[in-house]
Amino acid sequence: MVLLNDPQYQEAARVLGEKVIGQFPNQPDLQIQTAFRLITGRYPDSFEATHLRQFYEKQSLWYKEHLDDAAAYLSVGEYPVNQELPNYQLAAMGITINSMMNTAEAFTRK
């Protein structure tokens, strides 16, 4: 529950999302790959990259239609939201990164 829903982890995911979107605007594949590498220490393979991209696109479309929810999602945490970047992208990337953080590999030391 903590990893999924704790505000601290939400905020971390959100801010990481801002960083990679800011770094590679309009290049979601590169954004996802960078975030993944920062979280797990390796590059995603093609299966993972595809699924993550599909998920991100779906969330992105959804949040574009539900900007209120995007704003609500981004309101968590104290770090100020980067106003230059589109809200719906930030929310979708936040959720995508949060999901990456919740895979067994991300939080298990082998």
Site residues (CB under 8 A) for other proteins? 1-2, 4-7, 10, 47-48, 51-52, 55, 58-59, 62, 66, 68-76, 91, 95-96, 98-100, 102-105, 108, 110
Asked if 34 and 23 touch (Cβ cutoff 8 Å), the reply is: yes
Contact of 87 with 79, CB cutoff 8 Å: no
Q: Which two tokens stand for residue 103?
A: 């895979």
Nearer to other proteins, 20 or 70 (CB): 70
- Minimum Å distance from CB 61 to other proteins? 12
Q: CB 15 → other proteins: shortest distance, Å?
A: 14
Q: Which is nearer to other proteins, 20 or 36 (CB)?
A: 36
Phi, psi angle pair for 86, to nearest 5°: -65, 130
Nearer Cβ to other proteins (45/84): 45
110: nearest Cα among 41, 45, 43, 49:
41
- Supply the minimum distance, in Å, between the C-beta of residue 22 and other proteins: 21
Q: Residue 24: helix, strand or coil by DSSP?
A: coil
